[in-house]
Structure 1
Amino acid sequence: MRRALKTVIVDDEPLALDVLRSCLEEYPDIDIVAACRNGREAIAATLTHQPDLMFLDIHMPGKNGFEVIKALQNDVMPMVVFVTTYQQYALDAFDLHAVDYIPKPLDEERLARAVKRAVVRHRAAGETGVNKPPLIGAIDELLGRLNTRETAASLNKLIIRDVGSARLIEQERIDWVDAAGDYMCIHAAGETHIMRSTVKELVASLDDRVFKRIHRSTIVNIEKVSQVESLSKGDYLVSLDCGERLKVSRSYNTAVKALMRPALSQTQA
């Protein structure tokens, strides 16, 4: 009888971690030796248990999933299955170097496929670890892009995380965004979605060719602007396709006027 794969699972969301553990416990080929809630715990568990396999969340505070891999040495590097909301993020590279990826919310069919792939790869590789170094190389290339605007542009989606789940909103569907304390209200196609973020963080996640700040707490999709009205003292009022009317703060007038010159020409004609 073959040995079960020593497995570490990593996710910063307690509910997601519990769900993953519960599902994996159904597989006799999987032996969960540690459940970790952040990158630091994942590194420590890997050094302690030297697992064969790791189910690793990518998007975590502190050390993200890529940084966990970077911190591990080749001789203790397990096979990796990425558990991610980033369903289109660098998947071509992952197909070559990781065992698999599983999109959130957890898909049991994809989980079964990932377990099968891990078992087959482990059996074929034996104790040589031949599948490990290429993954390190792939992370070297991708790590520098994780927190850049290129990530959001490649996804073209905004990821709104909740306990145990995540929702992906097409950026082109977003009309405008405003801040409410420590949260952002994402107004898209008649619905409002709430996410915990600062304006600065959210701006970095959006396509800067389309989304512009018109106030310190307001971001607008300029492709949704239907009219620009000139007010007194150099202020402006923008009307959106959805019917919303938003005032442009004077501090952002210069950028908005340059971006919306075609719309201004239409209103003045």
Structure 2
Amino acid sequence: MKAIIIDDEKRARHLLLQLIKQYCPQIHQTEEAPDLASGVELIKKTQPELVFLDIEMPNQSGLDILDYFEESIDFKIIFVTAYNQYAIEAFKISAIDYLLKPIDTQELQSAVLKAQEAIEASNLTQQFDKLRASLQQISINKIALEIPKGIMFASHEDIIYFEADGMYTNVQLKNGKTKIICKPLKHFVAQLEENAMFFKCHRSYLINLKYVDELIKEDGDFLLMNNHKRIPISRSKKEQFITIVKETFL
């Protein structure tokens, strides 16, 4: 971790620095600032994970640190002060811990450990957020299929149709393979309702319109897919399908 000590007393900064070097190996880099304004400038320049902050300093209280940041802060704060009356105010701004001078080494170690755990949890959350954003981008063109041995990501372009099979769904792919998914058809209908290429032509089928070759009106109504599969189309859906075709092509 990188840390900054903000304290107007040079001796107090030096003492805390020596304790950190001796008892807190998680902190590999430490810098100092003699007042809040220069401390904030140093924070913005070096981007530390942890700030040790005195409260009663000339000109301005350490409790005012949030006034210098327009957005939420991405570093953790441990207040280090000779006065215990500020504890409630300190924790109101989400301080990790509150240490009283003279500093007890065990309390220092405990506070730094809390900070380390909070930083790791925050980093993990950020990683999840990045992964979520990436997968949301992928979902624009792909769909996740939960197959028995894991999760398969299939492009919308590679799916010819979905076929209901009780509480399961058979997914017919362009490469000729069929995947059995442990989810009902309605799951995929809901997931792809905003995708205009997929059309629920029957209670048991969700098709990719790209792969429809022909509408056949014999022995019931069918859609002939380009893999030669005949898929039934219900009466109400047939009228909807014909209307769309006429609006688009005729």
Give the TM-score range, shorter chain.
0.3 to 0.5
Rg larger for:
2
In the superposition, the TM-score normalised over structure 2's length comes to: 0.46
In the superposition, the TM-score normalised over structure 1's length comes to: 0.43
